[in-house]
Chain A
Amino acid sequence: AQTVTQSQPEMSVQEAETVTLSCTYDTSESNYYLFWYKQPPSRQMILVIRQEAYKQQNATENRFSVNFQKAAKSFSLKISDSQLGDTAMYFCAFMKSQGAQKLVFGQGTRLTINP
């Protein structure tokens, strides 16, 4: 079974700073997908970024980028030039590329951006 671990329950940074959220996972699969989802106070669930395990290049979406280390089973999210609107719960998630299409989520990191 796959597991996803987010070791930082809470983080807090000043606006405009860069922050990195950690995520590790455990799997015996060779092909899979990794995701970061954002859950703001409104409790929506918003896809931030997606990484395909067979791609060596790290995914980037504007101010959001990942550091994907397949051998270490690590998938961290970097938020550059953080904004007040980035305040949210962030969940890391794993999905196998074959078989049952279900996301396995970590416990989440509560990120607060301070003015």
Chain B
Amino acid sequence: GAGVSQSPRYKVTKRGQDVALRCDPISGHVSLYWYRQALGQGPEFLTYFNYEAQQDKSGLPNDRFSAERPEGSISTLTIQRTEQRDSAMYRCASSLTISGNTIYFGEGSWLTVV
């Protein structure tokens, strides 16, 4: 696609529910990143993939958070048993090469946990 596409753009869920956020990177981009951004803050790294391999998941807050990219293209970030503190914008980004020095962000998925 022309840009990084994320869905849903907005998600309201009840506390305790599981949520899956989808990211479709720019076509041909080998690296894919997930970030979380709270209101008034800069984005914080969660995890990233080169092709289908998860390279670094040190930013995932706890074991309720997981991500996958099974075919090296679309990725899903899953949050289990959501809590109110999970409310934030979740941003996906991709880069053409593994060196990743030009990273393009999607418009983000707003998650509100009520």
Shortest Cβ gap from A6 to chain B (Å):
8
A105 contact set on B, CB distance < 8 A = 42-44
For residue A16, CB closer than 8 A to chain B, the reply is no
A-contact 0/1 string along B44-56, CB 8 Å cutoff: 1100100000011
A101 at the interface (CB under 8 A from B): yes
Interface flag for B91 (CB, 8 Å) = yes
Known: A105-B42, A105-B44. A44 touches B31 (CB 8 A): no
A23 to chain B minimum Cβ distance, whole angstroms, is 11
Q: In this assembly, does A64 line the interface, its C-beta being within 8 Å of a C-beta of chain B?
A: no
Contact of B42 among A33, A42, A91 (CB under 8 A): A91
A100-B101 CB under 8 A given contacts A105-B42, A105-B44, A106-B42: no
The answer to whether the Cβ of B59 comes within 8 Å of any Cβ in the partner chain is yes
Contacts of A97 in B (CB 8 A): 99, 101
Interface size on B, residues (CB 8 A): 28
Shortest CB distance B55–A (Å)? 7
- Measured between beta carbons, the chain A residues less than 8 angstroms from B75 are none
CB–CB B33/A102 < 8 A: yes
- Asked whether any CB of chain A lies closer than 8 Å to the CB of B89, the reply is yes
Is A21 interfacial (CB 8 A cutoff)? no
Q: How far is the CB of B32 from chain A (nearest CB, A)?
A: 11
| Contact assessment for B43 and A103 in the assembled complex, using a CB-CB cutoff below 8 Å | yes
Which positions in A face B, CB cutoff 8 Å? 4, 33, 37, 42-47, 50, 52, 91, 93, 95, 97, 100-108
Q: What are 8 A-B pairs at a CB distance below 8 A?
A: A4-B42, A37-B105, A43-B89, A91-B43, A97-B101, A100-B56, A100-B58, A103-B33
Told that A101-B55, A107-B41 touch, could you supply 5 new A-B pairs with CB distance under 8 A? A45-B105, A47-B104, A101-B100, A105-B44, A107-B42
Interface residues, chain B, with chain A CB atoms under 8 Å away? 31, 33, 35, 40-45, 48, 55-56, 58-59, 89, 91, 93, 95, 98-105, 107-108
